[in-house]
Amino acid sequence: MRKLKNEELGRKSVEEFRSGKKLPITVVLDDVRSMHNIGSVFRTSDAFSVEKVFLCGITAQPPHREITKSALGATESVYWKYYVTISDAIVALKSDGYKILCIEQVEGSIDLVDFIPEVETKYAVVFGNEVNGVSQSAVDACDYCLEIPQFGTKHSFNISVTVGIVLYDLSKKIKL
Protein backbone atom coordinates (compact mmCIF):
# COMPACT_ATOMS: atom_id res chain seq x y z
CA MET A 1 0.00 0.00 0.00
CA ARG A 2 1.03 3.56 -0.68
CA LYS A 3 -0.31 6.60 1.09
CA LEU A 4 -2.04 8.94 -1.38
CA LYS A 5 -0.76 12.45 -1.96
CA ASN A 6 -3.14 15.38 -1.46
CA GLU A 7 -3.33 16.03 -5.20
CA GLU A 8 -4.48 12.44 -5.77
CA LEU A 9 -7.51 12.75 -3.49
CA GLY A 10 -9.75 14.47 -6.04
CA ARG A 11 -10.85 17.20 -3.67
CA LYS A 12 -13.46 19.65 -4.87
CA SER A 13 -12.90 23.37 -5.01
CA VAL A 14 -15.12 25.55 -2.82
CA GLU A 15 -17.14 26.47 -5.91
CA GLU A 16 -17.56 22.80 -6.92
CA PHE A 17 -18.61 21.93 -3.37
CA ARG A 18 -21.15 24.74 -3.17
CA SER A 19 -22.74 23.85 -6.49
CA GLY A 20 -22.55 20.08 -6.00
CA LYS A 21 -25.15 17.66 -4.74
CA LYS A 22 -25.66 17.67 -0.97
CA LEU A 23 -26.86 15.26 1.66
CA PRO A 24 -30.38 16.53 2.57
CA ILE A 25 -29.25 17.38 6.08
CA THR A 26 -28.88 20.62 7.99
CA VAL A 27 -26.76 20.50 11.14
CA VAL A 28 -28.11 22.68 13.95
CA LEU A 29 -25.93 23.68 16.91
CA ASP A 30 -27.92 24.57 20.04
CA ASP A 31 -25.79 26.77 22.35
CA VAL A 32 -22.46 25.07 21.60
CA ARG A 33 -19.74 26.80 23.63
CA SER A 34 -16.42 25.57 22.25
CA MET A 35 -15.19 27.26 19.11
CA HIS A 36 -12.94 24.27 18.44
CA ASN A 37 -16.06 22.07 18.44
CA ILE A 38 -17.83 24.50 16.11
CA GLY A 39 -14.89 24.43 13.70
CA SER A 40 -14.80 20.62 13.84
CA VAL A 41 -18.52 20.49 13.05
CA PHE A 42 -17.94 22.66 9.96
CA ARG A 43 -15.10 20.39 8.83
CA THR A 44 -17.18 17.23 9.34
CA SER A 45 -20.18 18.85 7.63
CA ASP A 46 -17.99 19.59 4.62
CA ALA A 47 -16.67 16.01 4.59
CA PHE A 48 -20.22 14.60 4.48
CA SER A 49 -21.45 17.32 2.10
CA VAL A 50 -24.36 18.52 4.23
CA GLU A 51 -26.58 21.32 2.96
CA LYS A 52 -25.89 23.82 5.72
CA VAL A 53 -25.10 24.51 9.35
CA PHE A 54 -27.34 26.61 11.60
CA LEU A 55 -25.71 28.25 14.62
CA CYS A 56 -28.07 29.13 17.47
CA GLY A 57 -27.95 31.04 20.72
CA ILE A 58 -24.49 31.39 22.26
CA THR A 59 -22.87 29.37 19.46
CA ALA A 60 -20.07 31.53 18.04
CA GLN A 61 -20.04 32.52 14.38
CA PRO A 62 -17.25 32.65 11.83
CA PRO A 63 -14.97 34.34 11.19
CA HIS A 64 -13.09 33.63 14.39
CA ARG A 65 -9.52 32.39 14.78
CA GLU A 66 -10.50 29.47 17.03
CA ILE A 67 -13.23 28.27 14.65
CA THR A 68 -11.01 28.68 11.60
CA LYS A 69 -8.20 26.72 13.25
CA SER A 70 -10.21 23.48 13.38
CA ALA A 71 -12.52 24.13 10.39
CA LEU A 72 -9.59 24.26 7.93
CA GLY A 73 -11.56 26.39 5.46
CA ALA A 74 -14.91 24.60 5.79
CA THR A 75 -16.58 27.82 6.96
CA GLU A 76 -16.06 29.01 3.38
CA SER A 77 -17.48 25.91 1.69
CA VAL A 78 -20.43 25.04 3.96
CA TYR A 79 -23.34 27.48 3.92
CA TRP A 80 -24.22 28.66 7.43
CA LYS A 81 -26.72 30.92 9.13
CA TYR A 82 -27.13 32.28 12.64
CA TYR A 83 -30.37 32.29 14.67
CA VAL A 84 -30.80 34.05 18.00
CA THR A 85 -32.82 31.11 19.36
CA ILE A 86 -33.10 27.43 18.58
CA SER A 87 -36.86 27.93 18.36
CA ASP A 88 -36.44 30.43 15.50
CA ALA A 89 -34.23 27.95 13.63
CA ILE A 90 -36.69 25.08 14.10
CA VAL A 91 -39.65 27.19 12.95
CA ALA A 92 -37.72 28.16 9.80
CA LEU A 93 -36.69 24.56 9.14
CA LYS A 94 -40.20 23.16 9.65
CA SER A 95 -41.63 25.80 7.31
CA ASP A 96 -39.11 24.56 4.70
CA GLY A 97 -40.34 20.99 5.13
CA TYR A 98 -37.55 19.58 7.30
CA LYS A 99 -38.08 16.81 9.85
CA ILE A 100 -36.28 17.66 13.08
CA LEU A 101 -34.01 15.09 14.71
CA CYS A 102 -32.52 15.77 18.14
CA ILE A 103 -29.52 13.78 19.27
CA GLU A 104 -30.24 13.37 22.96
CA GLN A 105 -30.88 10.86 25.71
CA VAL A 106 -34.63 11.06 26.35
CA GLU A 107 -37.50 8.78 27.23
CA GLY A 108 -38.64 7.02 24.08
CA SER A 109 -35.53 7.80 22.05
CA ILE A 110 -34.73 5.74 18.97
CA ASP A 111 -31.36 4.02 18.75
CA LEU A 112 -29.43 5.70 15.92
CA VAL A 113 -28.75 2.29 14.37
CA ASP A 114 -32.49 1.57 14.21
CA PHE A 115 -33.51 4.91 12.65
CA ILE A 116 -34.60 4.54 9.01
CA PRO A 117 -34.76 7.89 7.17
CA GLU A 118 -37.76 8.46 4.92
CA VAL A 119 -37.06 8.65 1.20
CA GLU A 120 -36.82 12.17 -0.25
CA THR A 121 -37.09 13.81 3.17
CA LYS A 122 -34.91 16.66 4.40
CA TYR A 123 -33.62 16.40 7.96
CA ALA A 124 -32.32 18.94 10.45
CA VAL A 125 -30.16 17.32 13.12
CA VAL A 126 -29.91 19.22 16.39
CA PHE A 127 -26.79 18.83 18.53
CA GLY A 128 -26.60 20.42 21.96
CA ASN A 129 -24.45 22.21 24.46
CA GLU A 130 -21.37 20.42 25.81
CA VAL A 131 -22.74 20.35 29.38
CA ASN A 132 -26.54 20.52 29.12
CA GLY A 133 -27.13 18.83 25.76
CA VAL A 134 -30.04 19.77 23.51
CA SER A 135 -32.43 22.23 25.15
CA GLN A 136 -35.82 20.95 26.28
CA SER A 137 -37.52 23.43 23.93
CA ALA A 138 -35.75 21.80 20.97
CA VAL A 139 -36.60 18.31 22.25
CA ASP A 140 -40.25 19.39 22.54
CA ALA A 141 -40.26 20.63 18.93
CA CYS A 142 -38.48 17.69 17.32
CA ASP A 143 -40.02 14.90 15.29
CA TYR A 144 -37.62 12.21 16.57
CA CYS A 145 -34.97 11.93 19.26
CA LEU A 146 -32.10 9.67 18.34
CA GLU A 147 -29.60 8.23 20.77
CA ILE A 148 -26.16 6.76 20.13
CA PRO A 149 -25.69 3.49 22.02
CA GLN A 150 -22.91 3.67 24.61
CA PHE A 151 -21.48 0.90 26.73
CA GLY A 152 -18.86 2.41 29.06
CA THR A 153 -18.97 4.41 32.27
CA LYS A 154 -19.41 7.77 30.52
CA HIS A 155 -22.80 8.68 29.14
CA SER A 156 -21.86 11.21 26.49
CA PHE A 157 -19.51 11.89 23.62
CA ASN A 158 -17.82 15.15 22.75
CA ILE A 159 -20.14 17.01 20.37
CA SER A 160 -17.67 16.88 17.49
CA VAL A 161 -17.44 13.09 17.88
CA THR A 162 -21.24 12.86 18.07
CA VAL A 163 -21.63 14.85 14.85
CA GLY A 164 -19.16 12.54 13.11
CA ILE A 165 -20.94 9.39 14.27
CA VAL A 166 -24.40 10.67 13.33
CA LEU A 167 -23.44 12.10 9.94
CA TYR A 168 -21.57 8.92 9.04
CA ASP A 169 -24.57 6.78 9.96
CA LEU A 170 -27.07 8.99 8.13
CA SER A 171 -24.84 9.30 5.07
CA LYS A 172 -24.76 5.51 4.77
CA LYS A 173 -28.57 5.38 4.98
CA ILE A 174 -29.26 8.43 2.75
CA LYS A 175 -27.18 7.97 -0.37
CA LEU A 176 -26.09 11.04 -2.36
Distance CA(105)–CA(62), nearest Å, equals: 29
Residue 175: predicted pLDDT: 84
Closest by alpha carbon to 57, among 19, 87, 77, 35?
87
State if pTM tops 0.95.
yes
CATH classification of the domain holding 25: 3.40.1280.10
Count structural domains, the chain: 1
In a domain, 58, yes or no: yes
Residue 120: predicted pLDDT: 95
Q: CB 124: neighbour CB atoms within 10 A?
A: 25
Q: What is the largest CA-CA distance in the chain?
A: 50
In a domain, 7, yes or no: no
Closest by alpha carbon to 139, among 155, 123, 126?
126
For each successive 10 residues of the chain (176 residues), what is the average pLDDT? 94 94 98 98 98 98 97 97 98 98 97 97 97 97 97 94 98 90
Instruction: Give, for 122, the enclosing helix (H) or strand (E).
Output: strand 122-127
